[in-house]
């Protein structure tokens, strides 16, 4: 079944943004068709271009499976995924090709420990021959300065704090000029105070670069604070349970957290998430 992707744009006229993703009736079964584990069950939703879409669900619910399919790390069983007008995977091509238009920022970080921060950041453009070494270094220095990362260019990732590492990784991703950033619980390992700093930093980066963001988390507060759109997933098999458009105006800062609107969104969603968490717990899904 092929469905023409409809590029979703905000109703207000604005420059055409790239990086809209349409996830269309995607099914993923691990193992054999009949006996395997159904991880993603007829999942359909849209990631609007130039916006932040946050996918919320209990750990192990299958949301990372979706991200892996989108990134091109794993195949899907059926359905299709489109990036703008291009089919990434679908009938006849169940595994997408990984590419610099979709860069993943991993759960525990995947900066190359044997490369200095600036070598990490310049890795993409140099690999793709998109820039000369000198150009890449110059742009990296600019972007690092912009992200408050001056002075750690020649340190190794092992020498900086995990919060700063995450920021370096996002800059590394942005250096590839991606259409969409795929963030897989990037702030999971951080304490809540560092997390709040990272959230504002991410929003700042987003406002500057206006790249689409596909963000996975199990933290509802994080989801509502960051997202234009929040997709609450059922636990395994994973399927959208509730999709909300968070109409709290951007740019947002942490004062949003104490507003009535924010609390209303929390109230509206917390029950749904809690219900899935109970199911996941009963199913024996462990927090990893």
Partner 1 sequence: MVTAARALSARFVGFVVGDDFWRGVVSIVVFLVFWEAGSRSHAWFGFSFPWVSQVPAPTAVLQEMFTLVQEPSFWNSALLSTLRVFEGFFAAMVIGIPLGLAMAVSPIFFGITFPVFEVLRPIPPLAWVPASIIFWPTQELSIAFVTFLGAFFTIVINVIGGARAIDVRYFQAARSMGSSTWDIFRRIILPGTLPSIVVGATVGVGITWAVVVAAEMISGGGSAGSMGGAAGGGLGFFIWNSYVGGSYTQIVAGMISIGIAGYVSSALLRKIGNWMTPWLSEN
Q: Work out which of 22, 102, 166, 239 binds partner 1, going by CB under 8 A.
A: 102
Interaction residues for partner 1, span 149-188 (CB under 8 A): 156-159, 176
Interaction residues for partner 1, span 191-250 (CB under 8 A): none
State the minimum distance, in angstroms, from the CB of residue 154 to partner 1: 11
Q: What is the DSSP string of 38-100?
A: EEEEEEEEEE-TTSEEEEE--TTSSHHHHHHHHHTSSB-SEEEEEETTEEEEBTTB-BPPP-T
Q: How far is CA 192 from CA 21, 32, 221, 236, 287, in A?
A: 30, 41, 11, 27, 18
State the minimum distance, in angstroms, from the CB of residue 9 to partner 1: 26
Q: Does 93 bind partner 1 (CB under 8 A)?
A: no
Element (H, E) at 240: strand 240-245
Question: Looking at beta carbons only, is 44 or 161 nearer to partner 1?
Answer: 161
Q: Does 135 bind partner 1 (CB under 8 A)?
A: no
State the minimum distance, in angstroms, from the CB of residue 261 to partner 1: 36
State the minimum distance, in angstroms, from the CB of residue 186 to partner 1: 12
Stretch that binds partner 1, among 26-34, 83-91, 121-129, 236-244 (CB under 8 A): 121-129
CA 163 to chain centre: 17
- The Cα–Cα gap between 88 and 69 comes to 9
Element (H, E) at 215: strand 212-217
Q: How far apart are the first and last CA of the chain?
A: 36
- The Cα–Cα gap between 24 and 150 comes to 42
CB 83 within 8 A of CB 21: yes
- The Cα–Cα gap between 137 and 151 comes to 14
Is 196 strand, coil or helix? helix
Residue 269 token pair: 């969603």
Residue 35 token pair: 């006996």
Q: Work out which of 36, 98, 148, 251 binds partner 1, going by CB under 8 A.
A: 98
Q: Work out which of 26, 103, 149, 202 binds partner 1, going by CB under 8 A.
A: 103
Q: Does 89 bind partner 1 (CB under 8 A)?
A: no
Question: Looking at beta carbons only, is 73 or 256 nearer to partner 1?
Answer: 73
Q: Does 73 bind partner 1 (CB under 8 A)?
A: yes
Question: Looking at beta carbons only, is 109 or 240 nearer to partner 1?
Answer: 109
Q: Work out which of 36, 113, 148, 251 binds partner 1, going by CB under 8 A.
A: 113
Stretch that binds partner 1, among 44-52, 98-106, 139-147, 215-223 (CB under 8 A): 98-106
Q: Work out which of 106, 141, 196, 209 binds partner 1, going by CB under 8 A.
A: 106
Q: Work out which of 20, 60, 124, 186 binds partner 1, going by CB under 8 A.
A: 124
Binding footprint of partner 1, residue count (CB under 8 A): 25
Judged by the rule CB under 8 A, the positions of this chain that interact with partner 1 are 71-73, 98-100, 102-104, 106, 108, 110, 112-115, 123-124, 127-128, 156-159, 176
């Amino acid at each position: 079944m092929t469905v023409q992707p409809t590029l979703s744009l905000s109703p207000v006229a604005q420059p055409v943004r790239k990086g809209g993703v349409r996830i269309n009736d995607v099914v993923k079964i691990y193992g054999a068709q009949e006996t395997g584990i159904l991880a993603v069950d007829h999942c359909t939703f849209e990631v609007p271009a130039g916006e932040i879409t946050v996918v919320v669900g209990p750990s192990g619910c299958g949301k990372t499976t979706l991200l892996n399919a989108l990134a091109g790390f794993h195949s899907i069983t059926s359905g299709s995924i489109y990036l703008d007008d291009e089919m990434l995977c679908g009938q006849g091509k169940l595994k997408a090709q990984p590419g610099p238009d979709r860069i993943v920022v991993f759960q525990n970080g995947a900066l190359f420990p044997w490369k200095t921060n600036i070598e990490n950041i310049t890795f993409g453009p140099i690999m793709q021959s998109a820039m000369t070494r000198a150009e890449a270094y110059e742009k990296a220095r600019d972007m690092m300065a912009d992200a408050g990362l001056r002075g750690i260019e020649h340190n190794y990732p092992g020498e900086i704090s995990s919060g700063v590492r995450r920021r370096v990784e996002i800059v590394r991703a942005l250096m590839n000029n991606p259409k969409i950033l795929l963030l897989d619980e990037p702030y999971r390992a951080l304490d809540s105070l560092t997390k709040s700093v990272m959230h504002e930093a991410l929003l700042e980066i987003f406002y500057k670069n206006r790249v689409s963001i596909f963000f996975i988390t199990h933290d509802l507060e994080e989801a509502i604070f960051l997202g234009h759109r929040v997709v609450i997933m059922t636990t395994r098999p994973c399927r959208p349970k509730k999709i909300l458009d968070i109409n709290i105006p951007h740019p947002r800062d942490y004062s949003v957290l104490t507003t009535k609107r924010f609390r209303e969104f929390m109230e509206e969603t917390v029950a749904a998430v809690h219900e899935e968490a109970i199911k996941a717990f009963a199913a024996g899904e462990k927090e990893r």
